[in-house]
């Protein structure tokens, strides 16, 4: 059921929540859509129970909504996310005097199972960038771009959306740092190494001028028609490169972010420094990568120790 099909008061509350997320919380359009999808699901369930106004929402309504989704086979992680969205929505509605008492205060959802993110071994990263370099040796603009994107993704651990949104002026070639606009419009500065610097410089000198048009603007990376590269294009490029390795289950640009973080910690980097580089608001998120490193240590021990 779309927002337009909901009772007027429910639809109005959902739209107000979306405006709050965008204007006051600085959430991206993508994030707002995800929140509204969850809220829309909740309100559609409420409407099916005869509720026409947010003030009629009760704890039982929320529990039955989550229960129905659990019975449909929804994962624990998704249930936990939707529960958090419901709590955010009702808390906002209370502040806006749309609801008198928050029905989600005692709402509980199963904790998501923590899974270790897939990471590449360092030798796989070497093969990945060597493959990109071999393709770029021919000098085709898109191959030069792809090599620069992969080098920069691994060197900095930036998110794919952050890479797509970068402008040329975000680079500081002298200091080899990159200005990144992350989630919630938070800005951070991230260093990158010489291989990434060389790949980006090659792209800017030989690749980008061949694709640039009068409407390219300041975008760092361009598509085949000269417009700013989008996230879908980046994901497609990285997915093909990872599939070409043939010996990893890692998929997409986020695997390079996971790998960068894990390799930094394996090399002795401070946890808080990695948190700053990745742009995590919570140290607990960064700590997931310490579990990855410990697991890799255990694997190495089991393989190498005669009495493991």
Total structural domains within the chain: 2
Section 225-251 average pLDDT = 91
Residues 133 and 214 in one domain: yes
Strand partners, 188: 180
Residues 81 and 147 in one domain: no
289 catalytic, yes or no? Answer: yes
Q: Convert the pLDDT of each residue in 187-215 to its tens digit.
A: 999 999 999 999 999 999 999 999 999 99
Cα–Cα separations (whole angstroms), residue 224 to 98, 127, 152, 156, 175: 49, 25, 19, 24, 30
Q: Look at residues 230, 82, 79 and name the one whose alpha carbon lies nearest to residue 161.
A: 230
Comparison of pLDDT for 141 and 306, the residue scoring more? 141
Phi then psi for residue 271, to 5 deg, are: -60, -40
The pLDDT-based confidence of 298 (bands split at 50, 70, 90) is low
| pLDDT at residue 111 tops 70 | no
Last residue of a domain, one of 40, 60, 95: 95
Section 79-103 average pLDDT = 93
The pLDDT-based confidence of 69 (bands split at 50, 70, 90) is confident
The pLDDT-based confidence of 225 (bands split at 50, 70, 90) is very high
304 DSSP 8-state letter: H
- pLDDT score at 281: 82
Residues 161 and 205 in one domain: yes
**Does 174 map to a domain?**
yes
Helices of type H across the chain: 8-23, 29-48, 59-71, 76-95, 122-136, 141-156, 160-164, 194-202, 208-211, 231-245, 253-266, 271-278, 283-304
Comparison of pLDDT for 171 and 304, the residue scoring more? 171
Q: Look at residues 82, 216, 208, 85 and name the one whose alpha carbon lies nearest to residue 149.
A: 208
Q: Which of 63, 235, 254, 296 is catalytic?
A: 254
pTM of the model: 0.64
Residues 153 and 207 in one domain: yes
154 catalytic, yes or no? Answer: no
- pLDDT score at 266: 83
Last residue of a domain, one of 253, 283, 299: 253
**Does 159 map to a domain?**
yes
Q: Which of 147, 159, 228, 263 is catalytic?
A: 159
Residues 129 and 180 in one domain: yes
CATH code of the domain covering residue 245: 1.10.443.10
**Does 116 map to a domain?**
no
| pLDDT at residue 113 tops 60 | no
Residues 182 and 241 in one domain: yes
**Does 239 map to a domain?**
yes
Least trusted range by pLDDT, from 16-20, 37-41, 219-223, 269-273: 269-273
Q: Look at residues 101, 114, 110 and name the one whose alpha carbon lies nearest to residue 63.
A: 110
Q: Look at residues 82, 81, 91 and name the one whose alpha carbon lies nearest to residue 13.
A: 91
Q: Convert the pLDDT of each residue in 43-64 to its tens digit.
A: 999 999 999 999 999 999 999 9
183 catalytic, yes or no? Answer: yes
| pLDDT at residue 308 tops 60 | no
Residues 133 and 88 in one domain: no
DSSP secondary structure string for all residues of 46-113: HHHTT--SGGG--HHHHHHHHHHHHHTT--HHHHHHHHHHHHHHHHHHHHTTSSSS-TTTT---PPPP
Question: How open is the CA angle 204-210-213, to the nearest 5 degrees?
Answer: 100
Residues 87 and 204 in one domain: no
**Does 166 map to a domain?**
yes
Phi then psi for residue 269, to 5 deg, are: -65, 145
**Mean pLDDT of all residues in the chain?**
88
Q: Which of 64, 121, 183, 206 is catalytic?
A: 183
228 DSSP 8-state letter: B
Is 119 within 8 Å of 292 (Cβ atoms)? yes
Q: Which of 27, 208, 228, 257 is catalytic?
A: 257
Section 23-39 average pLDDT = 90
**Does 39 map to a domain?**
yes
Task: For residues 23 and 215, give the distance between their C-alpha atoms in angstroms, rounded to a whole number.
Answer: 28
- pLDDT score at 301: 59
Section 230-241 average pLDDT = 94
Last residue of a domain, one of 221, 253, 285: 253
Q: Which domain holds residue 198?
A: 122-253
**Does 295 map to a domain?**
no
Residues 58 and 131 in one domain: no
**Does 104 map to a domain?**
no
Residue 227: how many other CB atoms lie within 10 Å: 14
| pLDDT at residue 5 tops 60 | yes
Burial class (CB in 10 A: 0-12, 13-18, 19+), 298: exposed
| pLDDT at residue 280 tops 90 | no
Q: Convert the pLDDT of each residue in 115-156 to its tens digit.
A: 555 788 889 999 999 999 999 998 999 999 999 999 999 999
- pLDDT score at 282: 83
Residues 82 and 128 in one domain: no
Residues 86 and 141 in one domain: no
Cα–Cα separations (whole angstroms), residue 288 to 51, 99, 258, 271: 41, 37, 10, 11
225 catalytic, yes or no? Answer: no
As a whole number of Å, the CA-based R_g of the chain is 23
- pLDDT score at 291: 65
């Amino acid at each position: 059921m779309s927002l337009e099909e909901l009772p007027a008061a429910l639809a109005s509350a959902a739209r107000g929540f979306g405006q709050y997320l965008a204007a006051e919380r600085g959430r991206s359009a993508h994030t707002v859509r995800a929140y509204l999808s969850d809220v829309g699901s909740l309100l559609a369930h409420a409407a099916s129970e005869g509720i026409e106004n947010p003030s009629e929402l009760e704890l039982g309504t929320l529990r039955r909504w989550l229960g129905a989704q659990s019975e449909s086979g929804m994962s624990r992680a998704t249930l936990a996310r939707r529960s958090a969205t419901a709590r955010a929505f009702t808390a906002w509605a209370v502040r806006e005097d749309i609801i008198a008492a928050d029905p989600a205060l005692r709402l509980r959802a199963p904790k998501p199972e923590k899974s270790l993110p897939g990471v590449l071994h360092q030798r796989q990263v070497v093969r990945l960038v060597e493959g990109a370099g071999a393709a770029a040796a021919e000098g085709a603009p898109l191959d030069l771009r792809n090599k620069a994107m992969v080098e920069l993704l691994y060197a900095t651990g930036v998110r794919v959306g952050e890479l797509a949104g970068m402008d040329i002026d975000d680079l500081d070639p002298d200091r080899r740092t990159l200005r990144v606009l992350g989630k919630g419009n938070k800005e951070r500065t991230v260093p990158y190494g010489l291989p990434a610097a060389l790949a980006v410089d090659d792209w800017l000198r030989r690749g980008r001028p061949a694709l640039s048009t009068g409407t390219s603007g300041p975008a760092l990376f361009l598509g085949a028609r000269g417009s700013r590269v989008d996230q879908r294009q980046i994901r497609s490029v990285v997915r093909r490169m990872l599939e070409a390795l043939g010996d990893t289950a890692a998929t997409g640009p986020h695997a390079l972010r996971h790998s960068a973080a894990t390799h930094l910690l394996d090399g002795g980097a401070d946890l808080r420094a990695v948190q700053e580089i990745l742009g995590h608001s919570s140290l607990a998120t960064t700590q997931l990568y310490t579990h990855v490193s410990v697991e890799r240590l255990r694997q190495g021990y089991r393989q190498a120790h005669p009495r493991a």
